[in-house]
Structure 1
């Protein structure tokens, strides 16, 4: 999902994955400041686990910079996780590369004493480039 940072409304996209499950990602402005220096709540869910975190953006010359990240929260249904973190892959966008932040964890689905169905590493990625923000599950 991509949208203009100046469009200060909650953005949401729901898609059906090849396995039939539903994935949803959202980006929601939290403060009323200028978009390029605002706080956004980033959320993603695959139906079993939900991840959310906050990012603060600031203008740095012609580009946008990830000033800080915080508040990683993960919830799940019959899901456990480990190694949860927020990783700033690239703090400031450049003419050719976006600023990138990723919420990450290693998930174990249907984790119980009898059976573990599957494990998967990933989370929610936000990329900022040219006054656009793109969010996705990875």
Structure 2
């Protein structure tokens, strides 16, 4: 059986010209959509480039500030080490002075090299004389000024 469509006037079947026209309109709409998407993408790219530039500047400033803080921290560490060393030295000296109040022989009282000389009285000015090599200097190993009587 053969269907005759002539009596319906080919309802719903487009002609070839109508097909090409519809295809051109679809391509045109697709092109406009792609062009709009491209404009939006380019605008987004420009925004991202600006954001990246600002972020890079902030990063560089932060790195510069970090380097400055590291220098300050290093200087403070050096100062702290110096103070700690000085404090340990003072503690060691205090501990040694508590253990041995006279660490050097020169600080121990020396006997009077001139016992025969009379002592000076109160209110009298001290006099001193220079020891020669043959006097008390050779006997006790000292030379120089020696306290004498008035």
TM-score normalized by the length of structure 2? 0.16
More helix by share: 2
Point out the structure with max Rg over C-alpha. 2
Q: Which structure has the higher relative contact order (CA within 8 Å, separation 6+)?
A: 1
TM-score normalized by the length of structure 1? 0.16
